[in-house]
C-alpha cells in the first residue's frame, strides 16, 4: 500500500526529517482528524487523486487541500467551522483550519458567530462538543437570564431540534425593528414593559428584532414547542410561517399594535409595504388569542377578537420630567414627529402665518415656530413659516432621541395637529404624555385621541378650525400663568395616570390568562 496510507510516515518523509515540521504537521493532522473537520466522502469528490493514491484526507489536506479556494473548502469542511468568519476575524491570509488547530484554539478563537468557546478539546468531535456545550449554555442562560436578547442564545434556541423546558412561562417576542436601535413603538409597547416584567422571575422572554431575522433559518424555526406564548408587534416578514408553527405546537399568540395598520390609506407612505403583507397580518390576527391596543378607538377595529387596551405611558427610564422650564426670551412654538406628517403640519400652516403677523402687528411680539422632523421625506415644502431644527444622528432610536429632545427644545408652547382621518382615529395620546413630561403646555387637534384626555383649560387646549388654532395659541402666548398652570396640571396627570406599573400588571394578567 505504500507510505501514503501511513500518516506519520508520510509526514516524516514529506518533512524531510525536519523535526519542527514533523511535530507541527503531526499535531495538525491529529487535531483535524479528531475534530472530524473534514468529510472524507466530500473531500474525495474534490480530490479524486487522494482516493486513488490511498492518501488519508487529513494528510492530503495538509499538503494539497490547504491551497483550495475557500468556496471549495466549504464543500468538505465541517459546516460548523465558518471559514469566512474565521478568516475575517483571525487568520487573514493564513489557512483557517491550520491556523485554528495550531494557534486559534489556544487563543480561544471562535469557529462561527454562534460560538461561545464551545470547543474544549482538540481530540474530540467538533460537532458533538459544539452542540453539547451550546445546549448547556442555553440551559444555564434560562436559569439566570429572564430577558434574552443575545442572538448567540436566542437564535440557536428557536432553531433547535430539542425543546428546552423550564419552570418559567416562555415568551417569544417579535418586533420589526432592529433591537439595537429600537424606535418609539417597540420600545414603549414591548421592550420597556417586558424587560421590567422579567424582573418578576416568572418569565423567560426571548426578543427577536429585525437584526435577528436575517440570521435565522426561517423555515427551520420552532421545530418543537420552544415558546408557550408568542407576541408579534405590528408587522413581520414571516408571519405565515410563524402562525403555522404556533398552531402546530399549541403556542398561544398575541398581536400587539398601536396603529390601525389594515386601515392605512392608499396615499400613506406606509401603504405599499402594509398592502404587501396584508393577508399575512389578517391571518395572524384571525389566528391569535388576544389583541393588545393603545386606545378604545383602536380596540373597535377588532370587533371579533378578545382585545385588551394597554394605554401608552411615561417612560421614566428614558427621560426625566423637566424642571428647567423656559421663563424668558422670544415666544417659541414647536412641533416634532417622524417624517410622515406633512398633511398634519399643513393643517396649521395658514394659522401659524396669520398668528405670527397678528402677534407682531397687535402686540409687538415676535413668534418663532420650530419643527423637528415632521414632513415626509422627499416633499418639497415652503419653509418660510417655520425654522428647522436638524434631527440628531439616528433619530429613530427612541432612547437617544428623547434624551436629545429634552436637552434641545426650549419651547413655550407645543402644537400637535392631526388630520381627521380614519387611520388617525386609532392614534394614541403619546404626544400629550411626552410634551407634558418635557414641561411644555400644548394645543392639540380636537379629535377623540386628544379630547378624551385633554380637559381644557386644565391640562391643555384643543383646536379644530384655523380660527381656533390662532385663538388657542394666542391665548397661551398672552397668558404666562395659564401656560404655567397647564404645564403643572399636565405633569400631575401624567405622574398619576400614566405610570408603567399598571401596564406591566396588564401584561402579567394577559400572559397568565393565556396559560391558565
What is the pLDDT, as a whole number, of residue 52? 83
CA–CA gap between residue 483 and residue 461 (Å, rounded): 10
What is the pLDDT, as a whole number, of residue 411? 95
Instruction: Identify whether the C-beta of residue 21 lies closer than 8 Å to the C-beta of residue 15.
Output: yes
What is the pLDDT, as a whole number, of residue 271? 84
What is the pLDDT, as a whole number, of residue 265? 83
What is the pLDDT, as a whole number, of residue 206? 98
What is the pLDDT, as a whole number, of residue 481? 93
Kindly list the averaged pLDDT for each block of 10 residues, start to end, along the chain of length 516: 59 69 84 97 94 87 93 97 98 97 97 97 97 97 96 96 95 93 94 97 96 92 97 94 97 96 82 89 96 96 95 92 75 91 92 97 96 82 90 91 93 96 92 96 96 96 98 96 95 96 97 95
Instruction: Identify whether the C-beta of residue 42 lies closer than 8 Å to the C-beta of residue 78.
Output: no
How big is the chain, counted in residues? 516
What is the pLDDT, as a whole number, of residue 504? 97
- Please list the residues that pair with 208 across neighbouring strands: 174
Domains identified in the chain and CATH numbers: 3-126 (no CATH), 145-309 (3.40.50.2000), 331-498 (3.40.50.2000)
CA–CA gap between residue 53 and residue 6 (Å, rounded): 12
Helix (H, G, I), strand (E, B) or coil at 224: coil
CA–CA gap between residue 497 and residue 311 (Å, rounded): 10
Q: Is the pTM of this model over 0.85?
A: yes
CA–CA gap between residue 97 and residue 74 (Å, rounded): 11
In sequence order, the 6+-apart residues with CB closer than 8 A to the CB of 77 are: 37, 38, 39, 83, 97
Helix (H) or strand (E) holding 169: strand 169-174
What is the pLDDT, as a whole number, of residue 182? 92
CA–CA gap between residue 189 and residue 256 (Å, rounded): 8
What is the pLDDT, as a whole number, of residue 1? 45
Please give the grid coordinates belonging to residue 87: 478568516
Amino acid at each position: 500500500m505504500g507510505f501514503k496510507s501511513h500518516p506519520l510516515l508520510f509526514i516524516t518523509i514529506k518533512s524531510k526529517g525536519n523535526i519542527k515540521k514533523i511535530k507541527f504537521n503531526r499535531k495538525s493532522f491529529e487535531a483535524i482528524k479528531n475534530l472530524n473537520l473534514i468529510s472524507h466522502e466530500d473531500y474525495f469528490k474534490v480530490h479524486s487523486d487522494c482516493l486513488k493514491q490511498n492518501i488519508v484526507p487529513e494528510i492530503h489536506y495538509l499538503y494539497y487541500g490547504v491551497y483550495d479556494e475557500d468556496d471549495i473548502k466549504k464543500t468538505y469542511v465541517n459546516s460548523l467551522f465558518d471559514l469566512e468568519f474565521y478568516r475575517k476575524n483571525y487568520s487573514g491570509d493564513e489557512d483557517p483550519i491550520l491556523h485554528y488547530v495550531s494557534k486559534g484554539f489556544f487563543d480561544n478563537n471562535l469557529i462561527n458567530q454562534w460560538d461561545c468557546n464551545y470547543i474544549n478539546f482538540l481530540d474530540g468531535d467538533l460537532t458533538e462538543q459544539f452542540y453539547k456545550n451550546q445546549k448547556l449554555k442555553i440551559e444555564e442562560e434560562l436559569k439566570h437570564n429572564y430577558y434574552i436578547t443575545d442572538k448567540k442564545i436566542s437564535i440557536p434556541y428557536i432553531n433547535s431540534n430539542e425543546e428546552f423546558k423550564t419552570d418559567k412561562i416562555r415568551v417569544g417576542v417579535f418586533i420589526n425593528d432592529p433591537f439595537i436601535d429600537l424606535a418609539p413603538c417597540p420600545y414603549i409597547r414591548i421592550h420597556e414593559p417586558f424587560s421590567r416584567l422579567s424582573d418578576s422571575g416568572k418569565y423567560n422572554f426571548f426578543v427577536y428584532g429585525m437584526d435577528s431575522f436575517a440570521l435565522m433559518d426561517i423555515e427551520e424555526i420552532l421545530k418543537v414547542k420552544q415558546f408557550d406564548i408568542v407576541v408579534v408587534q405590528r408587522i413581520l416578514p414571516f408571519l405565515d410561517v410563524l402562525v403555522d408553527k404556533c398552531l402546530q405546537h399549541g403556542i398561544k399568540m398575541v398581536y400587539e399594535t398601536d396603529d390601525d395598520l389594515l386601515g392605512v390609506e392608499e396615499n400613506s407612505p406606509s401603504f405599499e409595504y402594509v398592502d404587501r403583507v396584508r393577508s399575512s397580518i389578517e391571518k395572524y390576527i384571525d389566528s391569535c388569542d388576544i389583541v393588545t391596543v393603545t386606545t378604545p378607538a383602536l380596540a373597535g377595529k377588532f370587533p371579533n377578537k378578545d382585545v385588551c387596551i394597554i394605554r401608552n405611558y411615561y417612560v421614566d427610564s428614558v427621560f426625566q420630567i423637566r424642571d428647567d422650564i423656559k421663563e424668558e426670551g422670544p415666544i417659541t412654538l414647536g412641533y416634532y414627529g417622524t417624517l410622515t406628517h406633512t398633511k398634519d403640519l399643513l393643517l396649521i400652516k395658514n394659522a401659524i402665518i396669520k398668528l405670527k403677523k397678528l402677534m407682531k402687528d397687535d402686540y409687538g411680539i415676535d413668534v418663532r415656530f420650530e419643527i423637528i422632523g415632521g414632513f415626509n421625506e422627499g416633499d418639497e415644502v415652503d419653509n418660510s413659516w417655520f425654522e428647522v431644527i436638524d434631527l440628531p444622528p439616528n433619530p429613530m432610536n427612541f432612547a437617544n432621541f428623547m434624551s436629545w429632545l429634552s436637552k434641545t427644545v426650549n419651547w413655550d408652547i407645543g402644537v400637535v395637529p392631526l388630520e381627521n382621518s380614519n387611520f388617525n382615529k386609532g392614534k394614541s395620546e403619546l404626544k400629550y404624555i411626552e410634551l407634558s413630561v418635557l414641561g411644555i403646555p400644548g394645543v392639540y387637534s380636537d379629535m377623540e385621541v386628544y379630547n378624551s384626555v385633554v380637559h381644557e383649560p386644565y391640562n391643555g387646549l384643543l383646536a379644530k378650525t384655523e380660527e381656533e388654532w390662532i385663538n388657542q395659541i394666542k391665548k397661551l402666548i398672552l397668558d404666562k400663568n395659564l401656560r404655567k398652570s397647564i404645564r403643572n396640571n399636565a405633569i400631575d396627570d401624567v405622574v398619576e395616570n400614566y405610570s408603567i406599573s399598571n401596564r406591566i400588571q396588564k401584561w402579567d394578567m394577559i400572559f397568565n390568562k393565556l396559560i391558565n
